[in-house]
Structure 1
Amino acid sequence: MPDSRDQVRRRITGDVSALVDLLLGVIQAEIPGYQVLDAVQLDEVRAQIRWNVDRVLGLWATGTALTEADTQRFRGVGAVRARDGRPLAVILRSYRVAAREFMGHVADHYGDALTAKDMADLAQVWLAADDKLADALHEGYQAAETSISTDRDRALSRLAGDLVLGRHAHEGAFVARLRELGVHLPRRFTVVVLQSAASVETVLPLASEPVMHTVIDGTGVVVTGQVDLPALHRRSTRCCVLTDIGANEAPRWYRLAKACLERAPADRLVFDRGDAEVLALVAGRADADPGRAASTVLAEIASGHEHLLETLDALFVAGNAEEVAALLGVHPQTVRYRLRRITAMTGRDPRLPWDLFVLQCARLAQR
């Protein structure tokens, strides 16, 4: 005879911590917004998952239904999530992901102790609870967001922050929020990460419309279609300019840009994606990628320009154009011409120490 539902409930909740970690892991793997939560926020998510599992199993075992206290609890959860900026779509998707994984886990580990009706009833209880709690979440979220959404500037600032912190379920959700706010940002856009929040005002006049900006822990962020790079280089603004990026890539690039501004030489002001990739590689960051660092810096000369790569390699072991020429058996003027070509194609002048360092790291990563 199959175990009673209450016995199965006790078996599942007896190892509930492992189940909670399993569900959280799947949610983090599938939803970018949950990958950037801090330790306190993750503990809150774990507590909520545990409550859901315990409550659903209890309803299933006893044949009871959610109470007004349950729905009121979720109205409160929705209001809190609206204030901390976590999008409602992300939250609701996390419940769907958890439900799918939970039912699979129960079937795999306790299916021999349950009848088909038991499994069907459990799925129905979870889905019914999710439906009612989703309504409560939405009510609380919408009520708290009303005052926020009336301030478009604040909404745009939140959107910029959500973008670089990964607080969106997927690119489509980000695009939908842009559409709701009437913002026509290109699919591939530019993010400028500024070491000083005060520098945001310096960059805004150089950015094309539309422009969103925010400040995160003292770091300024400007999101725009494109920025006037020559003009930006003339300003005394320390920043990292991330061009041609998409919504799903933005959180990683933002993290690399922040690390770049923290570690790069103080006498240099403007950095780009190549600088950020190389510094991630040198610092041994977990999200560093040698191939990406090489392609970001050397993409323009990686194919069909072997003579330029050969000149770079010689420059790494020689001190000047004359020595490079001697190594390669060419005229010094030829070397100078090639160095100018490298500068034009990569945006990096091999005569400058930092640019030479980045080029050399990228070249090593390419091999």
Structure 2
Amino acid sequence: MPDTRDQVRRQIAGDAVLTEHLMDVILAEIPGYQVLDAVQLEEVRAQIRWNVDRVLELWATGTALTEADANRFRGVGAVRARDGRPLSVILRSYRVAASAFMGYVADRFGEVLTAGDMADLTRVWLAADDRLSDALHDGYQAAGNSISTDRDRAIGRLVSDLVLGRHAHEGAFGARLRELGVRLPPQFTVVVLQPGAPADAVLPAVAEPAMHAVIDGTGVVVTGQADLKAVHRRGTRCCVLADIGANEAPRWFRLAKACLDRAPADRLVFDRGDAEVLALLAGRADADPDRAASTVLAAIAAQAHLLETLDALFVSASAEEVAARLGVHPQTVRYRIRRITALTGRDPRRPWDLFVLQCARLSRR
């Protein structure tokens, strides 16, 4: 049987197809890996190859991991702590890879390997995973302790990880909040500033707790809620994204950056509706007409008279013309315009607001 195991090891060792299979599974299962750059992804591939080859060697020879192997992973853990990749995400990637690896071996070599062979392979992988996880944790914690005294830096990393999608799930984000002693509601507000604007430019307009960071020149503030009127008074161009969860943050961050880059320069403060409409117009893969419509028009969706007035405003230039079209008094139209403005936060008498309202109205299926 050792000969059979060695033959299997020789066929799998360095197998590029297996490496890419495990890579694809990790990318599909763990959102945090989808935002890694090309260099980081190649590091992941190299680690996959090393893990597979080492486990197969241990399985074929009946040996165990060495202290040198453990030291290697202490070093990996320290590097991951410094580059801000959460430990929970890394450890989950090994669990995901283990399941996919066992399935691959069973499918390809199920006829030549016995149940005992597969059981031993599983045991070897789990034993290796257990020891290497401890080593990763030791290296990660040692490096983390050296920077934990700088709380501002830790919070900045947390904000960056949030909006760049580096958390495996909402629970991981919540755990890091607890570690830092930050009490943030499940649905919170993210303010993305015009590149170059300091993140603290809007801090007086947001509620505590408020975390902030600068990501490639773009200031980001995460808070429980923001006072939109106060944000306007700050005079800083930004996009205020209210009522979003940790899993949604990366998408909204991308949309907000695109919104600030493309929307009219004479407008200061944008919101989710602006970002959704621009995503729709840009043909983004994650754009959705119904979501754009509901985001912008939710407050008046059930008020037919306001929608009727809004539709008339798209083709008429004045309250008098709208009134004649609808058969109502001009004062009624002016009242309805004020209601639309109050409920949606958009004044149909302003070109950009009218444009967003019209796009949202027309996009509804």
Name the TM-score, length of structure 2 as normaliser. Answer: 0.95
Give 1:354 deviation, angstroms. Answer: 0.7
Give 1:13 deviation, angstroms. Answer: 3.7
Gapped regions of structure 2 (runs ≥ 5): none
Show the counterpart of 2:33: 34
Show the counterpart of 1:24: 23
Give 1:210 deviation, angstroms. Answer: 0.8
Distance in 2, matches of 1:4 and 1:107, equals 14
Show the counterpart of 1:93: 92
Distance in 2, matches of 1:231 and 1:338, equals 26
Distance in 1, matches of 2:349 and 2:58, equals 71
Give 1:323 deviation, angstroms. Answer: 2.4
Q: How many residue pairs end up in the alignment? A: 365
Pick one of 327, 335, 343 that aligns with 1:329. Answer: 327
Show the counterpart of 1:342: 340
Give 1:70 deviation, angstroms. Answer: 1.7
Give 1:256 deviation, angstroms. Answer: 0.8
Return the letter of the residue paired with 1:174: F
Show the counterpart of 1:127: 126
Show the counterpart of 2:247: 248
2:197–2:236 contact (8 Å) kept in structure 1: no
Return the letter of the residue paired with 2:353: D
Distance in 1, matches of 2:110 and 2:316, equals 70
Show the counterpart of 1:267: 266
Give 1:197 deviation, angstroms. Answer: 4.5
Residues 250-259 or 197-206, more deviating: 197-206
Distance in 2, matches of 1:21 and 1:290, equals 35
3-state DSSP of counterpart to 1:190 = strand
Residues 67-76 or 114-123, more deviating: 67-76
Show the counterpart of 1:8: 8
Task: Give a deviation string over 1:3-55, Cα, whole Å, max 9, x none.
Answer: 811222233346x2222222222222222211211222112111211211122
3-state DSSP of counterpart to 2:348 = coil
1:199–1:237 contact (8 Å) kept in structure 2: no
Distance in 1, matches of 2:30 and 2:272, equals 25
2:190–2:221 contact (8 Å) kept in structure 1: yes
2:81–2:144 contact (8 Å) kept in structure 1: yes
What do you get for the CA RMSD once the two structures are aligned?
1.7
Show the counterpart of 1:145: 144
3-state DSSP of counterpart to 2:314 = helix
Distance in 2, matches of 1:31 and 1:323, equals 55
Show the counterpart of 2:212: 213
1:20–1:46 contact (8 Å) kept in structure 2: yes
Give 1:317 deviation, angstroms. Answer: 2.2
Gapped regions of structure 1 (runs ≥ 5): none
Task: Give a deviation string over 1:205-255, Cα, whole Å, max 9, x none.
Answer: 222111111100000011111122111112220100011111111111111
1:8–1:113 contact (8 Å) kept in structure 2: no
